[in-house]
Amino acid sequence: MSSSPHFISLRAGGILPTDDAEMRLKKSLLVFATGLFCTGSMLWLFLYGQMGPQFSATAPFMFQLLLVANLLYFLRSGNFEWFRVTQLSLFLFAPFVVQWSIGNFISASGTSLWGLLAPIGAVLFCGPRESIAWFIAYIFLTALSGFFDYYLAGSPLSNAHKISTETSVFFFALNFAAISSIVYLLLRYAIIEKGKLQASLEETHRLLQEEQGRSERLLLNILPGPIAERLKHDSQAIADGFAEVTVMFVDIVNFTRLAEGMTPQQVFSMLNRIFSSFDELAERYGMEKIKTIGDAYMVAGGLNNEACNYTRAIAELAIAMRDLLHRDFTVNDMRLEVRIGIGTGPVVAGVVGKKKFIYDLWGDTVNLASRITSEGTPGMIHVDATTHQRLKGEFEFATPLDLYLKGKGNTLVFRLNGLKEPATAPAPAVPA
């Protein structure tokens, strides 16, 4: 145990800031036991003198001085190992020395019972295994006292001090009551402190769980659920290939020009309202938001092995986003228009970097969806041929357009109008 150069206060019980919870409890228990032992032994010495027996108080008085001096040394040095061993040794040997100085077990009213505090204290201050040696030492000293009391019975040495039967009985009761009280108070104090420690640990565990929950939610806000799990358990780079994924970009029309006349706070507030609404819609339709890039919003379906028709879900999400901006002017108070482009095909997905990482998509499908968006008509949803092929049975499309896309050349693009109206059954013929 390392020592501290500063004097440690008695109120702190010799506890250092670096001590763990178990060491704090052991230190406070031993200081508490020292106080109980000193108080009890001083009371015993006073009452013994008042009852009439005359004997030398040197041994008990020296015992008191040693207990206090040892406690002060511990508070000065912080050496708990030394304090623990020497204090338990005083608890063990001093009662036997006092008993031998008075006479035998009967005349001293079983003063050696106080030595029982050494093995009991060792259980609390050292641990069950370390307490065995102290208990054996107590039994040995008790047996040794009994042996000499038995073989010296009737000799002048066994009656060094004449003590009345009444006094002897009184102090037998006093010794039993004192030892029982000290043991009870020690155990009660230990249980109360352990209860406080347990409550503190439970509170710490609860706070840790809350913090872990916040961290989990933060991670899930950055990464898809399956990717977050893999990242927590695997330090390898995460990169996956997907044969078919539907990717959608939503781009705000003329955002740069509009933002020129706005303060940074107004720009942020506008984007936050719109993209937060898009987040809610993406979650409702079970699609994975990938990222926002300036004034553009990117979402994808098919990354998490969705059982649903993710291409249809993306199309419905696109319609919901477009309609939201057209009808809800608390979200879109500046009457903004968006271009929406959707592409379906193979992609590569993975986590980029080790710090401030991001989950992203790469590939021709991503580039195609981005180009369709940038060349699209404001307020309209445009899709590539693969997406059209998957949706044409359920959605209405306008006449396809042949657009020139940068890096792609002339490309067939389809404008998605909305869901097809359910077919109505023909009216029954009216009989003539």
In the chain, where the domains are located: 21-153+163-210, 238-419
State the pLDDT at residue 342.
Answer: 96
Axis-axis angle for helices 21-50, 117-125 (nearest 10): 160
State both tokens at 218. 């933060």
Q: Region 78-96: what's the mean pLDDT?
A: 87
Q: What are phi and psi of 100, to 5 degrees?
A: -65, -35
State the pLDDT at residue 366.
Answer: 93
285 neighbors 313 (Cβ within 8 angstroms): yes
DSSP-derived 3-state class of residue 160: coil
Give the chain's count of helices (H) and strands (E). 12, 9
- Give the gyration radius of the chain's Cα atoms: 42
287 neighbors 293 (Cβ within 8 angstroms): no
When mean pLDDT is compared across 38-42, 49-53, 140-144, the lowest value belongs to: 49-53
| Residue pLDDT, tens place only, 262-282 | 888 988 998 999 999 999 999
End-to-end CA distance of the chain: 110
Please check the confidence at residue 54 and state whether its pLDDT lies above 90: no
pLDDT grade for 17, boundaries at 50, 70 and 90: confident
Long-range contacts of 55-63 (CB under 8 A, 24+ apart): 55/101, 55/102, 55/160, 55/161, 56/101, 59/94, 59/97, 59/98, 59/101, 60/94, 60/98, 63/90, 63/94, 63/97, 63/98
State both tokens at 209. 């769980």
pLDDT grade for 173, boundaries at 50, 70 and 90: confident
Residues in Cβ contact with 354 at an 8 Å cutoff, skipping those fewer than 6 apart: none
**C-alpha to C-alpha distance for 372 and 220, rounded to whole angstroms:** 29
Q: Region 8-22: what's the mean pLDDT?
A: 67
311 neighbors 390 (Cβ within 8 angstroms): yes
Highest mean pLDDT among 66-70, 227-231, 282-286, 427-431: 282-286
State the pLDDT at residue 55.
Answer: 54
Please check the confidence at residue 335 and state whether its pLDDT lies above 80: yes
Nearest to 249 by CA among 335, 338, 323: 338
The model's pTM is 0.55
341 neighbors 300 (Cβ within 8 angstroms): no
161 vs 357, more confident:
357
Question: Which CATH superfamily groups domain 238-419?
Answer: Nucleotide cyclase, GGDEF domain (3.30.70.1230)
Instruction: Classify burial at 195, counting beta carbons within 10 Å of its beta carbon; exposed 0-12, middle 13-18, buried 19 or more.
Output: exposed
When mean pLDDT is compared across 7-21, 289-303, 351-365, the lowest value belongs to: 7-21
Q: What rounded mean pLDDT belongs to the chain?
A: 81
Q: Region 115-131: what's the mean pLDDT?
A: 87
Nearest to 242 by CA among 226, 219, 258: 226
State the pLDDT at residue 312.
Answer: 93
Q: Residue written as tokens 């002897």?
A: 168
**C-alpha to C-alpha distance for 388 and 397, rounded to whole angstroms:** 8
**C-alpha to C-alpha distance for 121 and 32, rounded to whole angstroms:** 11
pLDDT grade for 255, boundaries at 50, 70 and 90: confident
State both tokens at 87. 């204090």
CA 200 to chain CA centroid, nearest Å: 12
Q: Please tell me what DSSP assigns to residue 354.
A: S
In DSSP terms, which residues pair with 352 in a beta bridge? 358
State both tokens at 128. 């069950």
Q: Please tell me what DSSP assigns to residue 236.
A: S
State the pLDDT at residue 340.
Answer: 95
Please check the confidence at residue 59 and state whether its pLDDT lies above 70: no
pLDDT grade for 314, boundaries at 50, 70 and 90: very high
Residues in Cβ contact with 258 at an 8 Å cutoff, skipping those fewer than 6 apart: 334, 336
State the pLDDT at residue 154.
Answer: 54
**C-alpha to C-alpha distance for 311 and 307, rounded to whole angstroms:** 11
Please check the confidence at residue 107 and state whether its pLDDT lies above 80: no
CA 178 to chain CA centroid, nearest Å: 44
Q: Residue written as tokens 């004449």?
A: 162
Q: What are phi and psi of 308, to 5 degrees?
A: -80, 170
Q: What is the chain's percent helix, strand, coil content, to nearest 5? A: 55, 15, 25
State the pLDDT at residue 429.
Answer: 56
183 vs 220, more confident:
183
**CA atoms within 13 A of residue 11's CA, in its CB half-sphere:** 0
Please check the confidence at residue 58 and state whether its pLDDT lies above 70: no
Axis-axis angle for helices 128-151, 117-125 (nearest 10): 170
State the pLDDT at residue 169.
Answer: 75
70 neighbors 89 (Cβ within 8 angstroms): no
